[in-house]
Each structure stands twice: as C-alpha cells, then as structure tokens.
C-alpha cells in the first residue's frame, strides 16, 4: 500500500503529523510539493519568498533523500496535479497538514471529496497552528476581536501538544519530478539575493540552529531587547515558521523547557508573540479578505492621498530623509526581514505621514519579506492603520525621530543600514546639520501628522 504525503507550508520532517502518520502506517510513501500559481485566489509568492522557497525545498529534498525517498516536484493547479500523482503511484491514501486561507481550504476540501468518491482516503492534520482557528472562539462562537482574551482562552483550554519525532526511515517508488532549478524561483539579473544568502539558512536544520541560538542567550532579556533594532534580540524564526520548517509546537516546548526564574517573564512574552501569530490566523480564517478589505468597514471611506508616486518611491527605496524609516526599508531590501518595531514605524509613516493606503504597503512587504505571511502581514498592516481588530487607534502616529532616539539611541541601527549617516552631525535628525548624500525629508512631520488627523476626524464625523 502507498500513501502520498503532500507538503505545503510544512517543509519539515520532524513534528510533521501527515508524514508521521504515513510512516507509522508502514506504507510506501511518495512525498510531493506542488508549485501552484494557477489556482484562483491562491496568492502568488513575492520575490523574497520565492528565494526562500527554493532553498527550503532543496533542504527538504535532502532530508527526505536521507530517509530513503525523493521529494517529487510538480507545477500546476493542485486540484489537477495531486490526483495525477495519486493515480501514477496507485496510492490508496493521501495525507497533508492543514492550511487556512480560503482558496487553499476550498481546494483541499474539494480534493477530499473527489478522493473519497474514488475510494482514496484523504486525511488532514493539525500542524502549523497550536490552536485551530475555529477551536477557541469568543462566547458567541465568533473570532476574538481582541488579542489578550483570545490568548488567555487558548492557554486555558489546553497545553499545546508535544512535538512528534521525525520518521527514522521511509521507502517508496521514484516518480518523475521537475528540476527545482527549472522553476526559476531565484533571481537572475540583477542578483538581489546576496544579503539574503549572507543572513539566512533556510531549511529545518537552519531553523533549529536559530532556535537553539536564541534560547541559549537572547531569550534572556527578550522582553526589553525585542524593542531594540540594533540588538539581535529576537529569534528571527519568522521565515522558518512561515514555511513550516519548524513547528510552533517545537518552538513553544523548547522555550518552555528553558524557563527558569530568571527567564520566566521573557519566555512568557516570547510565547505571547507566537500567540499573535495564532491570533492573526484566526482573524484571517474568519475574514479571508484580510489583506484587501478593511476589517472595520468605516475605513472604506477614508480619503487616502492619490498622487503619491514620488513619496511612495522614496519610502520603498529608503530615501524619505527620516533615518529610522530609511534604515528599516533598506534592511528589508538587503536581508528580506525588518525588525518588528521598525515595521510598525515604517508602516505608520506610509499610512499616516504619507497618507498612502495601507494595502499598497502590505503588497510591498509581501514582495520583499522572506517571512511574508498571509495572516500576520495583513493583520499587522491593518493594526497599524487602525482599520483592524484590536488595532492601534488611527490617531496614534509613530514619530520616527522619537522612536529612534528611544530605541536606537546610539544610532547603530541607523548607520548600519544607512551608511551615509556615518558622518552626520545629528544621526537622528540629519537635517539639523551636515549629512552629505542623505536626502532631505520628503514631508514635514508636524504638517503631515496634522493632515492625517484631520482626515481621520472627517472620517469619524462621517
């Protein structure tokens, strides 16, 4: 007997319930990944994520080879490609780990139905969220609107299950496969991935190494260090979690195991950040259009600026004249990741100081981030915009100068990503002195803040 295991956002062999079930059944196993850029509603990956996916698939393929089977790569609409593989392999069963976007769920549900009609047993497993989005709901059976009660209810409901071990060996036939290189996931000319290569090790081993490093020292003091962009104070697990190279269960339990009296508070805060990931996915599950539709519909009438090409270009290139904004945007361009505090500041600047629709920023992040996540990115952009659930109120406008003075007082982060500022007389406010080669501010902070507040006032007064 043979089971097909369909890998999607779970590019790992340990704590992979679908793979574990297939291995435990004693069946032969065919492992496959389908690059689906055809099914309507499945959002095509951005450039940085494509780079990551390439390397992550290479790593997964190598791990499976070691276990004894290859990773079969196919391209096309999953609704057609997967049944083809099942037929070719004469499989009696298919297994996968659940995903939560609407188009993805619809595809999976219709595959399940058609497999059942053909007598093929299709089973799905919980793997990528510690709490299924429908599992912990508010009193009225709906999604939570506020994070704190959501996360409290999750933790009260049960402890996340323990991770499963990786299978020791697998066997199965060799099916035809695309060549990964032929998928064109990597940039050619220009090669913008140099900073990504220097920074990251995609794949399961890289993910575990990151986790160990983080728990070794950074976890100690995380609560405060997580706000300082110049410090390597966060786990940087986000792309690994996004592609499922490590499971939240693994991260959760490894962190709990390191808890002692001196780290308890740091580990609690770290755990609640994983909770924000779960919360974002619950929001997306109940609001599938979270990346495009205001969660709070009153924002539909907001008067965004319309002719903003020059300002948008300055923001995207990190040339706004505001050091923290420029450092963040260039960090993202260089390494495909941006520090959380700076994500909040750059998003606030786009939405409030430039008054550009949050969706424009959401799309740019989607293209540039190696951790671009359908739920966390959309929920966070709406959070900053004030249009989201449990959102920061629209009138709270990050001041990039105060933010960098407070969280990067020495300007180490600023200079690291904006080298022109190395010789600036005033690194936080370069316009107050000489800063050769660095642009003038693209907008006045005070005026643009006032403009945003007036627009918001007009909206709230209807």
Q: Find the DSSP H helices in 200-244.
A: 204-213, 222-225, 238-242
DSSP state of 291: T
Of 73 and 219, which has the nearer Cβ to ligand FAD?
Answer: 219
Mapping DSSP to helix (H, G, I), strand (E, B) and coil, where does residue 35 land? strand
Query: Quick one: residue 151, left, alpha or beta (phi over 0 = left, psi -120 to 50 = alpha)?
Result: alpha
Residue from 200, 252, 337, 381 carrying the catalytic annotation: 381
**Residue 373 CB, nearest approach to ligand FAD (Å):** 4
Extract the tokens encoding 234.
């966060």
Phi-psi region of 357 (alpha: psi -120 to 50; beta: other; left: phi over 0): beta
The catalytically annotated residue of 304, 305, 333, 426 is 304
List 52, 358, 364, 383, catalytic entry? 358
The least distance separating ligand FAD from the CB of residue 381, rounded to whole angstroms, comes to 5
Bridge partner residues of 75 (DSSP): 35
Q: How far is the CB of 341 from ligand FAD (least distance, A)?
A: 8
Measured from the CB of residue 240, what is the shortest distance to ligand FAD in angstroms?
A: 8
Nearest CB to ligand FAD, comparing residues 247 and 377: 377
What are the DSSP E strand ranges found in 160-296?
Answer: none
Is residue 134 annotated as a catalytic residue, yes or no? no
Shortest Cβ 274–ligand FAD spacing (Å): 5
Residue 340 known to be catalytic: yes
**Residue 243, phi then psi, degrees to nearest 5:** -90, 5
Q: Which is nearer to ligand FAD, 55 or 341 (CB)?
A: 341
Query: Which among 210, 202, 219 has a CA at the least distance from the CA of 257?
Result: 219
The distance of closest approach from Cβ of residue 407 to ligand FAD in the complex, given in angstroms and rounded to an integer, is 14
Active site residue 366: no
| Least separation in angstroms between CB 273 and ligand FAD | 4
- Is residue 216 exposed (0-12), middle (13-18) or buried (19+ Cβ within 10 Å)? exposed
Is position 135 annotated as part of the catalytic site? no
Query: From CA 20, how far away is CA 25, in angstroms rounded?
Result: 9
> Which listed residue (200, 252, 276, 364) is catalytic?
276
Angstrom CA distances, 85 to 89, 94, 210, 400, stand at: 6, 10, 35, 52
Single out the residue of 100, 142, 140 nearest to residue 124, CA to CA: 100
Q: Would you call 20 exposed, middle or buried from its count of C-beta atoms within 10 A (0-12, 13-18, 19+)?
A: buried
| Other CB atoms within 10 A of residue 425 CB | 10
C-alpha–C-alpha distance, residues 158 and 312, integer Å: 45
C-beta of 86 vs 344, nearer to ligand FAD: 344
Assigned token pair, 350: 């786009």
Footprint of ligand FAD on this chain (CB under 6 A)? 226, 234-238, 241-242, 273-274, 276-277, 280, 340, 343-344, 347, 365, 369, 371-373, 376-377, 380-381, 384
Report the SS3 class of residue 289.
Answer: coil
Q: Reply yes or no on whether 273 is catalytic.
A: yes
Toward ligand FAD, which CB reaches closer, 193 or 274?
Answer: 274
By beta-carbon proximity to ligand FAD, the closer residue of 6 and 398 is 398
Among candidate residues 340, 420, 426, 429, the one labeled active-site is 340
How far is residue 103's CA from residue 43's CA, in Å, rounded to a whole number?
9
Minimum CB separation of residue 168 from ligand FAD in Å reads 29
CA dist 284 → 3, 154, 290, 366, 375 (Å): 31, 17, 6, 16, 6
Indicate the residue among 111 and 325 with the shorter CB distance to ligand FAD: 325
Catalytic residue IDs: 273, 276, 304, 340, 358, 381
């Amino acid at each position: 007997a043979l089971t097909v295991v369909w890998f999607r956002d779970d590019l790992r062999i340990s704590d992979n319930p679908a793979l574990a079930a297939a291995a435990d059944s004693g069946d032969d196993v065919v492992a496959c990944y389908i690059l689906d850029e055809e099914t309507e509603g499945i959002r095509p990956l951005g450039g940085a994520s494509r780079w990551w996916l390439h390397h992550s698939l290479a790593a997964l393929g190598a791990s499976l080879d070691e276990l004894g089977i290859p990773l079969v790569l196919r391209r096309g609409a999953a609704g057609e490609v997967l049944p083809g593989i099942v037929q070719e392999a004469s499989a009696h069963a298919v297994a996968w780990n659940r995903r939560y976007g609407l188009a993805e769920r619809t595809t999976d549900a219709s595959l399940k139905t058609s497999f059942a009609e053909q007598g093929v047993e299709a089973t799905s497993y919980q793997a990528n969220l510690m709490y299924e989005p429908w599992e912990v709901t508010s009193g009225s059976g709906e999604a939570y609107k506020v994070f704190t009660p959501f996360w409290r209810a999750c933790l009260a409901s049960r402890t996340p299950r323990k991770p499963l071990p990786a299978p020791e060996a697998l066997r199965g036939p060799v099916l035809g496969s695309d060549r990964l290189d032929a998928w064109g996931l990597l940039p050619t000319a220009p090669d913008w991935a140099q900073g990504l290569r220097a920074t990251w090790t995609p794949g399961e081993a890289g993910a575990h190494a990151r986790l160990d490093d983080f728990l070794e020292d950074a976890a100690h003091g995380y609560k405060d260090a997580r706000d300082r962009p110049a410090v390597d104070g966060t786990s940087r697990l986000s792309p690994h979690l996004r592609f499922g190279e490590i499971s939240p269960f693994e991260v959760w339990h490894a962190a709990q195991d390191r808890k002692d009296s001196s780290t308890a508070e740091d580990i609690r805060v770290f755990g609640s950040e994983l909770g924000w990931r779960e919360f974002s996915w619950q929001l997306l599950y109940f609001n599938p259009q979270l990346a495009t539709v205001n969660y709070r519909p009153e924002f539909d009438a907001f008067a965004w600026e319309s002719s903003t090409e020059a300002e948008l270009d300055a923001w995207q290139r990190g040339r706004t004249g505001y050091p923290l904004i420029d450092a963040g945007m260039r960090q993202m361009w260089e390494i495909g990741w941006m520090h959380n505090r700076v994500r909040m500041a750059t998003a606030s600047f786009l939405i409030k100081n430039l008054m550009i629709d949050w969706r424009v920023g959401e799309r740019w992040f989607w293209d540039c981030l190696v951790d671009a996540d359908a739920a966390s990115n959309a929920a966070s952009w709406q959070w900053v915009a004030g249009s989201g659930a449990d959102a920061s109120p629209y009138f709270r406008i990050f001041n990039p100068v105060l933010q960098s003075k407070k969280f990067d007082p020495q300007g180490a982060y600023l200079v690291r990503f904006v080298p022109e500022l190395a010789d600036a007389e005033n690194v936080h406010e370069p316009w107050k002195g000489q800063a050769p080669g660095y642009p003038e501010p693209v907008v006045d902070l005070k005026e643009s803040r006032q403009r945003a507040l007036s627009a918001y006032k007009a909206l709230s007064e209807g």
